[in-house]
């Protein structure tokens, strides 16, 4: 009998494993809506094939004395029809997998815990899963291949590129109070999918001489202004932008490997125009989206686990400290916008797919963006019962003559 493997968690995985007992866990959801009804048998075969290429996903979370770790499973993963809320918690006990594959009518869903991977790292699993499924169902001769080797997938890029942080590298923090959306929170998360033509939104962004991420972030800031009280206008709108570090520090890892760039905007008056906002946001991102800026912040994160006192502290103490850090950090931004970019399956597979969407769990309000062909999808997760900011955001594009379609999940 083959000896089962175990895997170390990366820096981010260690952080999220400490929060695994929380009711709301950090979960991504990738969905592909196909043009025909899903065949469960073909989907099961696709999962079996994909897990052979990604053995570090076929694991269970285990507690060690100092850190959590991942233990390879001896159980077969079985797909099923969707029967749980979107981004529902994945980890309840030591026999649970940290991902979920389900289907509903024409839609295939892949949900994965942030303990295992980040959004960009999970995309390859999702793409290969869909490609294997289509190959199996339609008897396609196209070869399905991973873009990286097993060793490359398993690399801990945080560890590879870590260097000690010096105090001179750290910039003083902006002490301006941060604007937080005010509203009645629900016990469950409401999910929305906002769909628009990529070409039309990009054309509008180019009118402001900026990228898609800069433009969407600026429109969101612009949408907050009518909601803010006079006291709120003195506060800073802070948007965290998760940044895939692989283009800056070469890596093919399927583990977590991302940093954060934060946009900080202070209104000079309520009617600041969109042109002014985009100019400031563009300047902020140009400054922060550099290898040097990103490495400082990432190395700060890794420094915690490198601390000699942290290394020898038992797991229970580490969990307590990390939960306190999470409680503090969660109040340090207005929202998060994550742009995963274009998801492309190739000409042999694209014709069988109607749309792709990405969502993520949240404690507050968060946007996750992706595109497929000429279809821009903005997945919005919100714990708020009413959200005029989202309405203002969507109305902006409608008023520009851009078609907007919104799908809303039911909250029971």
> Residue 271 pLDDT more than 90?
no
pLDDT, tens digit, for every residue of 130-154?
999 999 999 998 777 777 777 888 8
pLDDT, tens digit, for every residue of 147-177?
777 788 888 888 888 887 654 555 656 778 9
Q: What pLDDT shows up at residue 169?
A: 56
Of 5, 239, 27, 238, residue with least CA distance to 118: 27
Spell out the domain ranges in the chain.
Answer: 6-160, 167-353+361-408
- Residue 168 structure tokens: 């001179």
- The single-letter DSSP state of residue 81 is E
pTM of this prediction? 0.93
Strands 365-372, 335-342: pairing is: parallel
> Residue 210 pLDDT more than 90?
yes
What lies within 8 Å, CB to CB, of 230 at 6+ separation is: none
CATH entry 1.10.760.10 includes domain 167-353+361-408? no
Phi-psi sector, 301: left (phi>0), alpha (psi -120 to 50), beta: alpha
pLDDT, tens digit, for every residue of 337-367?
999 999 999 888 999 999 999 999 988 899 9
Can 6-160 and 167-353+361-408 be said to share one CATH topology?
A: yes
User: Hey, what CATH class is 6-160 in?
Assistant: alpha beta
Distance CA(180)–CA(182), nearest Å, equals 6
- Residue 342 structure tokens: 């274009």
> Residue 208 pLDDT more than 80?
yes
Distance CA(392)–CA(398), nearest Å, equals 10
- Residue 255 structure tokens: 């583990």
Distance CA(369)–CA(378), nearest Å, equals 5
- Residue 129 structure tokens: 């899963």
What lies within 8 Å, CB to CB, of 316 at 6+ separation is: none
> Residue 308 pLDDT more than 60?
yes
3-state per-residue secondary structure call for 187-234: EEEEEEEEEEEHHHHHHHHHHCCCCHHHHHHHHHHHHHHHHCCCCHHH
Q: What percent of the chain has pLDDT over 90?
A: 61
Chain centre to alpha carbon of residue 191: 14
Distance CA(16)–CA(387), nearest Å, equals 28
Distance CA(397)–CA(175), nearest Å, equals 33
Q: What is the mean pLDDT of the chain?
A: 90
Distance CA(45)–CA(28), nearest Å, equals 22
Q: What pLDDT shows up at residue 166?
A: 59
Distance CA(301)–CA(360), nearest Å, equals 22
Q: What percent of the chain has pLDDT over 70?
A: 96
pLDDT, tens digit, for every residue of 3-57?
568 889 998 999 889 887 777 789 999 999 999 999 999 999 999 999 999 999 9
> Residue 410 pLDDT more than 70?
no
Distance CA(208)–CA(187), nearest Å, equals 39
Phi-psi sector, 234: left (phi>0), alpha (psi -120 to 50), beta: alpha
Phi-psi sector, 134: left (phi>0), alpha (psi -120 to 50), beta: alpha
pLDDT, tens digit, for every residue of 188-200?
899 999 999 999 9
């Amino acid at each position: 009998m083959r000896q089962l493997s175990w895997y170390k968690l990366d820096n981010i995985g260690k952080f999220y494993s400490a929060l695994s007992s929380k009711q709301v866990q950090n979960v991504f959801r990738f969905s592909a809506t196909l043009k025909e009804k899903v065949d469960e048998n073909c989907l099961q075969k696709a999962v079996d094939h994909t897990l052979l290429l990604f053995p570090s996903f076929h694991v269970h979370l285990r507690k060690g004395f100092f850190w959590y770790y991942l233990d390879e499973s001896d159980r077969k993963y079985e797909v099923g029809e969707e029967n749980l809320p979107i981004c529902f918690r994945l980890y309840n006990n030591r026999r649970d997998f940290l991902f979920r594959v389900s289907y509903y009518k024409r839609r295939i869903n892949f949900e994965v815990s942030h303990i295992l991977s980040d959004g960009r790292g999970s995309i390859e699993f999702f793409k290969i899963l869909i490609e294997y499924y289509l190959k199996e169902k339609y008897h396609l001769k196209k070869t399905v291949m991973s873009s990286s080797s097993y060793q490359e997938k398993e690399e801990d890029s945080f560890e590879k590129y870590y260097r000690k942080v010096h105090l001179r590298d750290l910039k003083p923090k902006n002490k301006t109070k941060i604007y937080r959306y005010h509203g009645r929170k629900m016990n469950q998360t409401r999910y929305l999918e906002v769909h628009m033509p990529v070409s039309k939104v990009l054309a509008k962004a180019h009118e402001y001489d900026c990228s898609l991420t800069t433009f969407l972030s600026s429109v969101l800031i612009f949408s907050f202004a009518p909601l803010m009280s006079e006291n709120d206008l003195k506060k800073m709108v802070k948007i965290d932008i998760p940044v895939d570090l692989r283009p800056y520090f070469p890596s093919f890892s399927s583990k977590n490997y991302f940093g954060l760039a934060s946009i900080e905007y202070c209104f000079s008056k309520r009617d600041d125009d969109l042109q002014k906002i985009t100019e400031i946001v563009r300047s902020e991102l140009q400054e922060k989206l550099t290898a040097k800026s990103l490495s400082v912040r990432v190395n700060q994160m890794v420094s915690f686990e490198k601390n000699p006192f942290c290394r020898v502290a038992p797991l229970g103490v580490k969990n307590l400290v990390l939960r306190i850090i999470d409680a503090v950090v969660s109040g340090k931004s207005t929202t998060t916008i994550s742009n995963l970019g274009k998801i492309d399956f190739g000409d042999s597979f694209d014709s069988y797919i109607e749309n792709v969407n990405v969502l993520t769990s949240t404690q507050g309000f968060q946007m996750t963006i992706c595109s497929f062909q000429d279809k821009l999808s903005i997945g919005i997760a919100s714990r708020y019962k009413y959200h005029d900011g989202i309405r203002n955001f969507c109305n902006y594009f409608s008023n520009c003559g851009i078609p907007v379609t919104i799908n809303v999940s039911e909250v029971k």
